[in-house]
Amino acid sequence: MSRHRKTLCAVLLVIMVFTLAGQVSAKQYTVGLIVKNLVNPFWNYMKEGAEEVGRELGVNVITLAPIKPDNVEEQIRAMEDLIKRKVDGIVLVPADSNGIIPGVLKANAAGIPVITSNTRAFGGEVVSFVGVENYDAAYSVAMHVAEQLGGKGRVLILEGVPGAQTAIDRKNGFDDALAKYPDIKVLASQPAKFQRAEGMLVMENLIQRFPDFEAVICGNDEMALGAIEALDAAGRLKGTIVAGFDGNRDAVMSIAEGKLMVTLYQDPQAQAGDAVRALIDYIEGKEVPDRIVVKGTLITKANVDKFLEMYGVK
C-alpha cells in the first residue's frame, strides 16, 4: 500500500472514531426519577423499570424519593436538586397532584422537560403522562367485587393519599361501579394513605365501628394487606372479600393463599420504563404523545399462577 493511501486510511479512521465518539456522547443523558417513597414495593418496581431502560439506552437514571413517604415538599426539594445537577429530564410521580405544581414550574423555568408517570400533576407544563387509566381499572376491580357479592352486601373502602390523582380516580371508579348496585351499601370510605401499617390501623377502627360487612375494597395492595392483617387478628377474614390494586408480589402470594381475592396489576416497570424512553425521544426531538397508556390486568385465583411465575415464586 502506498504512503499516500496509508495516510488517507489513517485520516478516515480518525474521522470515523471522532464521529462515533460524538454519536455516543450525544446519547449519554442523565434523567431523574422521583417516586412517592421507596417503602412501598411498587415504587421499587418503578425504579427497577426506569434503570433497566436506562441501561438499555445508555442513560444515567438518578432515583430520588422522600424520606417521609408521600411528602410533596420533599419531592419539590428533590426536583430543585435535579435542576441544580442540570439533568436532561425528569420523570415525576407526584405525591400530591396540586402540591407538586411549584416543582414542575421550576423545572419548566429551567428548560428541563418533565414527564409524569402513574400520577398526574394538575399544573405546569408536562410533556406526557404514562400510566394505567386508574378510574377504569378501579371500576373493574369494584365490579368484580360486586359480582362476587351477588349484587348485594355491605362494603368498606380504604382510600389512598388525599389529593393524589390516583387516589381520586380510584375512589371515583369504586364509587361509580358500586352505584350500579342498589343493594350494595358503602358503610364508610376512609383514607389509609396507601400504607400497610395505616391500612391495618384504619381497618381495626372500622371493625369496631361496623360489626357486619362483607367486603373491603382498597386503593392499593399495601392497604389491602394491612386490612387483611387486622381482619385475621379479629377473626373476621374468613367470609370477607378483600380487594387491592397494584399487583405487587405480596398481594399475588396473598391471592394464592386465599386471603386477598382480587388486585389489579398495573405494570410499574413499564410505567417508569416507558416514561424514560419517551423522555429521551422528546429530548432528541422526536414526537411524543401526551398520553401513553399502560395496560392493567385483573389478578384473581384464576390467573394467579402466571403472576407467581413472573415473580419467581413458582
Percent of the chain residues topping a pLDDT of 70: 91
Residue 9 maps to a domain: no
Same domain, 211 and 259: yes
Residue 243 maps to a domain: yes
Partnered with residue 242 across adjacent β-strands are 216
Same domain, 41 and 175: no
Same domain, 278 and 260: no
CATH at residue 255? 3.40.50.2300
Note the pLDDT of residue 23: 38
Residue 12 maps to a domain: no
Same domain, 185 and 247: yes
The strand pair at 60-64 and 89-92 is best described as: unpaired
Residue 15 maps to a domain: no
Rounded to whole angstroms, the Cα distance separating 110 from 81 reads 12
Same domain, 108 and 230: no
Same domain, 224 and 140: yes
Residue 41: pLDDT band (50, 70, 90) is: very high
Over residues 243-262, the mean pLDDT reads 97
For the stretch 42-92, pLDDT in tens is: 999 999 999 999 999 999 999 999 999 999 999 999 999 999 999 999 999
Same domain, 181 and 305: yes
Note the pLDDT of residue 38: 95
Backbone angles phi, psi at 126, to 5 degrees: -120, 135
C-alpha distances in Å from residue 204, one per residue of 84, 109, 199, 229: 45, 47, 9, 9
Backbone angles phi, psi at 194, to 5 degrees: 65, 20
Residue 24 has pLDDT above 90, yes or no: no
* Chain length of the chain: 314
Query: Lowest-pLDDT range, 16-30, 110-124, 161-175, 180-194?
Result: 16-30
Over residues 296-302, the mean pLDDT reads 97
Same domain, 165 and 31: no
Give, for 93, the enclosing helix (H) or strand (E): none
Residue 18 maps to a domain: no
Residue 4 has pLDDT above 70, yes or no: no
Residue 238: pLDDT band (50, 70, 90) is: very high
Residue 19 maps to a domain: no
| Cβ 82 vs Cβ 62: under 8 Å | yes
Over residues 162-180, the mean pLDDT reads 96
Same domain, 78 and 116: yes
Same domain, 138 and 200: yes
How are strands ordered across the β-sheet holding 241-243?
183-191, 152-159, 215-218, 241-243
The strand pair at 263-265 and 297-299 is best described as: antiparallel
pTM, to two decimals = 0.85
Residue 40 has pLDDT above 80, yes or no: yes
Domain count, the chain: 2
Residue 163: pLDDT band (50, 70, 90) is: confident
The mean predicted confidence, pLDDT, of the chain is 92
Q: Which domain holds residue 89?
A: 26-131+268-283
Same domain, 32 and 164: no
Residue 151 maps to a domain: yes
Residue 10 maps to a domain: no
Using a 10 angstrom Cβ sphere, with 0-12 exposed, 13-18 middle and 19 or more buried, the burial of residue 290 is exposed
Same domain, 173 and 126: no
Partnered with residue 38 across adjacent β-strands are none
Note the pLDDT of residue 27: 57
For the stretch 108-160, pLDDT in tens is: 999 999 999 999 999 999 999 999 999 999 999 999 999 999 999 999 999 99
Note the pLDDT of residue 276: 98
Residue 269 has pLDDT above 60, yes or no: yes
